[in-house]
Amino acid sequence: MIPVDVGGCLGWIHPGGSARGAVLCGALDYEGLCTYRAWWGLTGRIAAAGCPALRFDYPGSGDSLDAGRVERDAGRGEDLVERAVAAARGAIERLKAVAGVEEVVLVGLRFGALVAALAAEGRSDVAGLALLAPVASGRAFAREMTIQSKLLAAGLPAAEPGAGLAVAGFVLSEPALAGLRRAEIGSLAGVAAPRILLAEPKDRADKALAARLAAQGAAFERQELEGYEALMQSPTLAREPAAAWAGIAAWVAAEPPSRRAAPLTPPPAVRLAGEGFAESPVQFGPGRGLAGVLCRPAARRPGAPFVVFANSGRNPRFGWARSTTALARRLAGEGVASLRFDMSGIGDSRSMPDGDEPLYSHQARADMAAALDMLVGQGEAGFLLFGSCSGAHLVFHAAVADPRVAAVVSVNLQRFIWPRDASLQVAMRRSLKPTAFYRRSLFRRETWKRLLAGEIDVASIGLGLFQRKVARPAARLAGAVGGRLGLDTPAGRVRRWLLALERRGVRVLLVHTEGDPGLDDLVHHFGTDTAWLVQRRGLQRAMIADSDHDLTPARAREDLWQILTRFLGVAPELHAQGEWGRASVGRDGNAEGKSVTPGSPPLAGRGKGLGVHQD
């Protein structure tokens, strides 16, 4: 892959030798998050068929730039569609300049199909147009997203009036929605592409659009987009529709020009600069198979750590609701540099060997070590590893194993120990919230409404809570007996890891959202009495109320920012003068012995407070 700057948008070219190239316009926001890895796969298939292919992030999406700060939805105004179309046209020109192609095929998925159709208008260099499960009407798409927003926001705090439409934390402002509603794939009278492909799942066929395309007089074809449902699942569960992708790649590459592409022209190094930061894509590791983005501040804060972000689940490196990109750029504004990158099998990085599961794998730990190797080679040190969910598990164990790690921030760690034979899909289906959550829910009217409506699987929850009730005392008994007999127990291992980090002076911050299932693992290993944790130097805990596991509400992400800046010493009242990895660690676990909010949030998730709590 070759990184390119497409007018402030980050793009990747997959090289090929044909004089025909392909520009891929992906789905928008949450759908783009779900389909990101599969989109990477389709791009690779098209390139393997001989056509150089370029995919890119829209303005204000992924790793691309905005007109303003990313977390405020700046630049996503009434010209949302126009800016996306302009980026697609810029991608065509960039692909022609770098890969030496003379004609292109535009491939669009969902919102990207609308963008591709509009970008093709009036161009003589577009040889084909592939529309995959297309959004033919922006107004209809806005209605779809409104329904999706309500489904995904069930149980979350209501959004503020006038805040626009939020789908899984991705926000479209009211002006952006107004612009989207005006866009549609019309008669395509201005599209001169000689070949048009419409690929749709059986149950989503748009007969009106098909009639308009057939009337174009172009070589119009239809294919079934088999596997669409699996493609559009959550990022962690989504799967590439291999058969459909193979058919689309073959269609793009069919009847190629007889000439070869001109020699590839290496593009200039990519540097995307915004307010207080500059970013550059990097490729590293064996075969340069790992991809990421370095985010450097305009002015580096002396002694600040270098933050390395791990993937959360299979979310690509920009994160759920684009939270990692936003966090990295805000940190840069405070003088803190960072790297966000994709592990093997995720985002833009190489596939896992033999198609193994990338999460909770030894390969992920090797990838993290490769990232630190690359950074050390650039003269960096004092690393803070940040991870959420599966990423929290990875950064914790990477910190235990790697002496170069000075601190670790773990958000909603689900398990300290992941069984080698555990199925991630089964674990996600069987995941339960802490017992206290269900106890509190008995006194809520909404719970009884859902119960009477048959929306709650009482049998599964009851069985799970019974098993938990039995497992906790059994685990404590096994730990006590095992400790006396000198046996290796799970609780004993977790405590040894934390003690090892303490001896090395590694700072640890454990963050959980109230009611998160990961709190149960803490109870499993330490019970409800936090006395042992309270004695650990450098260990802090924090609780975030009114959120879900992914920190979807903007308020929850802002709470995390406040917690993180206090831990980093960025907040003025906690400013740390010492360098990370060298600063003295006080009894309360903070650099230079600075204090934080006293107390400890309950492990059962009853706490309502915000802040960093010393354990």
Averaged in consecutive runs of 10 residues, what is the pLDDT profile of the chain (615 residues)? 95 93 96 96 96 96 73 62 95 95 95 94 92 92 88 71 80 89 81 88 85 80 92 91 95 86 85 94 95 96 94 95 96 96 96 84 94 96 96 96 96 89 52 56 64 62 58 55 65 92 94 89 79 85 91 92 89 42 31 32 37 39
Residue 509 phi, psi dihedral angles, 5° rounding = -120, 120
Strands (E), 117-218: 126-132, 165-167, 170-172, 195-200
Report the candidate in 582, 587, 504 with the shortest Cα–Cα distance to residue 540: 587
> Is 449 exposed, middle or buried, given 0-12, 13-18 or 19+ CB atoms closer than 10 A?
exposed
Can you tell me whether residue 151 is helix, strand or coil?
helix
pLDDT of res. 391: 96
Name the token pair of 493.
Answer: 């291992």
pLDDT of res. 299: 93
Cα–Cα distance measured from residue 12 to residue 281, given in angstroms and rounded to the nearest whole number:
10
| Global pTM value | 0.84
One-letter amino acid for residue 201 of the chain = P
pLDDT of res. 461: 60
pLDDT of res. 149: 86
Residues 260, 17 contacting (CB under 8 angstroms): yes
Residues 281, 3 contacting (CB under 8 angstroms): yes
- List residues bridging with 582 in a β-sheet: none
pLDDT of res. 455: 57
pLDDT of res. 584: 27
Strands 306-309 and 383-388: parallel
Domains of the chain: 2-136+185-253 (3.40.50.1820), 272-426+488-614 (3.40.50.1820)
Residue 602 phi, psi dihedral angles, 5° rounding = -60, 140
Can you tell me whether residue 107 is helix, strand or coil?
strand
Name the helix (H) or strand (E) containing 459: helix 458-485
Report the candidate in 429, 355, 364, 369 with the shortest Cα–Cα distance to residue 390: 364
Residue with tokens 């989109």: 39
Cα–Cα distance measured from residue 249 to residue 242, given in angstroms and rounded to the nearest whole number:
10
The DSSP result for 419-451, as a single string, is -TT--HHHHHHH----HHHHHHHTT-HHHHHHH
Cα–Cα distance measured from residue 517 to residue 549, given in angstroms and rounded to the nearest whole number:
8
DSSP state of 79: T
pLDDT of res. 81: 92
Helices then strands, counting H and E runs in the chain, come out as 19, 20
Cα–Cα distance measured from residue 138 to residue 212, given in angstroms and rounded to the nearest whole number:
17
Report the candidate in 581, 592, 611 with the shortest Cα–Cα distance to residue 306: 581
pLDDT of res. 188: 74
